[in-house]
Structure 1
């Protein structure tokens, strides 16, 4: 199968090549934006200036930090289709889930529904919540290629009179697909069940991500695709009981209502929050968010095909894994049988290849099958995927006990 030409390197509106707008190590190949994001140089510079300001005059800085965070919240919330008064900054998606879990009360016979495509840390939090009250957690198994209708039906079949909470991903982390969370939340509400939507990957990849998600609570990371500094996420809810939500740190705003009580939390480094609207505006002004989603999708599609083409001669099944509801920036490529069969094995493979080849990757596992979950952003270029083929594919084949073709032999 011929490989389509890879899109040309992007030039930003300022005339800068997109790759040069991020301070990434040129000695490393970056194909895993989805895990921890990457911050543009302009945003790093802005955050550094804020930190310098705080260090120069801490007594001026910290008493006014709540006002500054509120202003950043007002600028950031519309990006996900939310109102500022419904939105609170939190350090990351897991922190948002913890805030919600801490506010909930369950009875001993109650149950929480999660999925087998959910993010492990969020599921662990649900399990801890259940243990506090002697409740239970039950997993809804979703086939990788299930259609949206089938996904909703799986939840309909799983609901029981004991179900009190559904925890479901808007974009799944291990499998990189969209789930119909609004339909699931509507189904849940009809049965008196509440829904927590994990939108960790959604901001930037889905326009108005919080508004379209549905559910009682939604959260999303801003340090992934929007390229804010690490440690910035948003929790959004207009639930009637939202005043039961408390930040992880009690501070001098503790007597305020939600979300104001989240704006001041002692001496945390709030420059991550203050820099978030700058990051969002940077992508908008330099390329436009709608254009960025299209560009990321084109790069992800072309990159997945490059890698799949390199692996096709070595397996009976096509390694390219087209999903019913793909997202703009991530794709799955199946690994040879036996590699990445568990999350632990997939994580170990990621770090081994980084150390041995200088390529940052993400490997995931679903139902005993390992995948390469590639990520593409504006700075991603053809040479990144070509480097993966040259450096990583031979290592992958050797680990799978497959003899590479002469053109792929490791020097």
Structure 2
């Protein structure tokens, strides 16, 4: 499929330390890594730092664990400004879904109350909202947002659904399945006018959106550090200035339970908190080696180029435009339509992800929207032209074969 490679290939990113970005991540060279958005990737320098932190804890547990709350507090003082927040408003949590659960656990609803979500929401968070509703005899309703809707249309869709019964709005700053922005600050303003509170799911926002927490609006905001900031897995932030934030509690009660917010979150017994402690180095690594503003620009160029290359290879086999308009795109991810028969539901999309990893050595992500399947392409500084070429050469034939199987050919 060499004929599709017509766009100029961007040069591999080189870091300030002199080497190619790809060499700074301990990624398997036999695999094409085009799914940073799901699980992230941790630079070797940060991996080694986390390993050293664990070693310190193993050398003297009695010296390590009693001092751990102080270390966690120091780390959040370093990390909070990265999302535009104050340390006193910020706590570490294991991941975005944990943050949502912490907020849901603190809320009380009455029978007949409503929680408003969008049909672009992250499945696990929406499941948590449904569980909250069941506890109190409330209900969850979803706002339908067209894939290509611009900011004004999104706001009007929420306005139409904000009844007096709505007590909570849960909305994504960047949608996971559809890789688009939502105007959460404007939605928050609307919700507050109607007496509803807003939980902003900013799982993908740190690193992609400057000052992600403070620009999002919302009564509560959370975001992952293990995605675009490249921190170790198990590191996320919950940020709130809400007057009732002392009703927020860690998922596990520990000896810090009698402390106030945020200090009670710094004490979590014998958890492995090294992902929290290594997060400042991950953020600093990208800034020191390339700069965060420049990183966002480069990821945009890489994502555009990869979408053009892969889209050209798929277009002859798709009866609609492969390049998909998502209304408010983000810098690092692109949505590409798949041939008919693929991605009919979430299970089908996940099956394709594993099939391409096993048979083609491609790390990728797929999603299903209204019964239509899409590739969600995502990149970081380590992404190179060879990854896009590998997808065209190794993944596209598998995609076409799988589509043929599904169509019964």
The two structures have a TM-score, normalised by structure 2, of 0.97
Answer whether contact 2:318 2:337 (CA < 8 A) is retained. Answer: no
- Counterparts of 1:350-369 in structure 2 under 5 Å? 350-369=353-372
Q: Give the structure 1 partner of residue 140 of structure 2.
A: 137
Deviation at 1:2, TM superposition (A): 7.7
RMSD: 1.0
Q: Give the structure 1 partner of residue 126 of structure 2.
A: 123
| Structure 2 segments unaligned to the other structure (5+ residues) | none
Q: Give the structure 2 partner of residue 173 of structure 1.
A: 176
Aligned-partner SS, 2:237: strand
Matched, 1:243 2:246: yes
Aligned-partner SS, 2:147: coil
Answer whether contact 2:147 2:325 (CA < 8 A) is retained. Answer: no
- Counterparts of 1:339-378 in structure 2 under 5 Å? 339-378=342-381
Deviation at 1:316, TM superposition (A): 2.8
| Structure 1 segments unaligned to the other structure (5+ residues) | 403-411
**1:229 pairs with one of 210, 228, 232:** 232
Instruction: Give deviations 1:134-161, integer Å, cap 9, x for gaps.
Output: 1100111111011110100000000111
Would you identify which runs of 4 or more consecutive aligned residues in structure 1 move more than 6 Å?
A: none
Q: Give the structure 2 partner of residue 8 of structure 1.
A: 11
How far apart in 2 are the matches of 1:60 and 1:26?
39
How far apart in 2 are the matches of 1:322 and 1:158?
24
Deviation at 1:3, TM superposition (A): 3.6
Answer whether contact 2:365 2:377 (CA < 8 A) is retained. Answer: yes
Aligned residues: 402
How far apart in 1 are the matches of 2:235 and 2:255?
21
Answer whether contact 1:3 1:305 (CA < 8 A) is retained. Answer: no
Q: Give the structure 2 partner of residue 22 of structure 1.
A: 25
Instruction: Give deviations 1:5-25, integer Å, cap 9, x for gaps.
Output: 121001100001100000011
Aligned-partner SS, 2:145: coil
Answer whether contact 1:172 1:179 (CA < 8 A) is retained. Answer: yes
- Counterparts of 1:155-170 in structure 2 under 5 Å? 155-170=158-173
Answer whether contact 1:6 1:303 (CA < 8 A) is retained. Answer: no
How far apart in 2 are the matches of 1:116 and 1:343?
14
Answer whether contact 2:5 2:309 (CA < 8 A) is retained. Answer: no
**2:329 pairs with one of 326, 330, 334:** 326
**2:38 pairs with one of 35, 38, 45:** 35
Answer whether contact 2:72 2:266 (CA < 8 A) is retained. Answer: yes
Matched, 1:197 2:195: no
Deviation at 1:324, TM superposition (A): 1.8
How far apart in 1 are the matches of 2:183 and 2:243?
24
Aligned-partner SS, 1:212: coil
Q: Give the structure 2 partner of residue 407 of structure 1.
A: none
Matched, 1:46 2:59: no
How far apart in 2 are the matches of 1:65 and 1:5?
50
